[in-house]
Amino acid sequence: MENKTNGSVEAKVVVENGQLPDPADWAFTDVVNYFKAAGFDEQATAFQDQEIDGKSLLLMTRNDVLTGLSIKLGPALKIYEYHVKPLQTQHLKSNANASLHAPQRVTR
């Protein structure tokens, strides 16, 4: 993901079926690159410092983002409302759909 010509990091998010890959599979570098690509370069370092991976991101509450990352209130609100919350919703929906289509185990 690093551009060898100028040393800058480029976030390349692969979109599958119009959606991002499941954040539960993201390493902390993927989380950092996601927020950099979304325009939160300065705030992405907080995710890097805390080594927040995709699973941790999906477990974050509003309070975690607003107070636990030590970032300014405005960007923290935007990060939670427009990124963390939608990623959590997408993850829950995709898991719900997967469980509906999975073979059911019969117990007696």
Q: Would you say residue 3 has pLDDT above 50?
A: no
10-64 pLDDT tens trace: 444 556 666 788 999 999 999 999 999 999 999 999 999 999 999 999 999 999 9
Residue 15 identity (one-letter amino acid): V
- What pLDDT score was predicted for residue 107? 66
User: Which of the pair, 27 or 98, is modelled with greater confidence?
Assistant: 27
CA atoms within 13 A on the CB side of 45: 5
- The residue-averaged pLDDT of 93-102 equals 77
Q: Would you say residue 83 has pLDDT above 70?
A: yes
Closest CA to 81 of 40, 49, 28, 46: 40
Q: Report the CATH number of the 26-96 domain.
A: 1.10.150.50
Two tokens at 7?
């040393």
User: Which of the pair, 75 or 7, is modelled with greater confidence?
Assistant: 75
pTM of the model: 0.76
- What pLDDT score was predicted for residue 103? 64
- What pLDDT score was predicted for residue 15? 63
Task: Please state, in angstroms and rounded to a whole number, the distance separating the CA atoms of residues 71 and 41.
Answer: 12
Q: Would you say residue 102 has pLDDT above 80?
A: no
